[in-house]
Structure 1
């Protein structure tokens, strides 16, 4: 199936969260916590103890369909930005990227932007899922993340 050139290949959503950036970043940088706020209904589990700390870190995530994904961190700035490229274990990434950017607004408020970029995706079997990953799915993740981060 050939991709429709009209389909946007970058989906993004932002929202303000009433929590400090460091608290929010800890939720994002610890893969074992990610299934608790995944609005895309795609993440099942990740082993605890693999907190991301640098570019080239790799963490394994088990998806809801039972498949494992290796996620290689390609962007990292502690407390501000993290992005990774998923792939099947031992294979090259097929060309999509998940990114989180945090902008502290004050000590207890942070603007969080979540982006899914599939501009370089070439794997035809992933195109349907990529097209379905729209801004509303990213907003759902942001809303779930806010619900956890804003708790006292």
Structure 2
């Protein structure tokens, strides 16, 4: 099977969005995305640590979860809150700094799912600081790595 093609989606100002087609049913992909204990399996950025994830086995509207992270060589912990949820199709959570991570899944044919991931920093407390730190570009690379690995996982 050919390598996955990750495409850029224009989703508006201060949003970084990428999309890929995954050869798996949406329910199977959603089970991975909606389980915070499995987020280390998803992470293409290398910032999510695989130790001590706290939270429910499956996310839901308003749920909170805590994940160990490491960035710039510094370990830390964040607690995020689910801000949008549609079972089997959508999960979005808000980072403590106000930006959001959103996953949208659309089963385009039996056993094939279009997966869209968005880093939305339009809601961040300090979007200009994120830009100065280069986070949009870094997160674009992380999303591309995440989606490429996700597609390969189900190839």
Q: Identify the TM-score tier after normalising by the shorter chain.
A: 0.7 to 0.9
CA pair 106-30 structure 1, distance change in 2 beyond 3 A = same
Q: Is residue 50 from structure 1 mapped to residue 92 from structure 2 by the alignment?
A: no
- TM-score w.r.t. the length of structure 2 is 0.79
2: CA distance between counterparts of 1:26 and 1:129? Answer: 31
Per the alignment, residue 4 of structure 1 pairs with none
Residues 17-65 of structure 1: CA distance to partner in whole angstroms, max 9, x if unpaired?
0000000001111111111221111100343772234211001000023
Pair 1:111 & 2:117 matched: no
Partner of 2:3: none
Structure 1 gaps, min length 5? 1-7, 88-93
Structure 2: which 5+ residue stretches go unaligned? 1-12
Is the 2:54–2:66 Cα contact (8 Å) retained in structure 1? no
Relative to the length of structure 1, the TM-score reads 0.80
State the alpha-carbon separation in 1 of the partners of residues 120 and 35 from structure 2. Answer: 21
Aligned residues: 137
Instruction: Call closer, same or farther: CA 1:129–1:95 in 2, change over 3 Å.
Output: farther
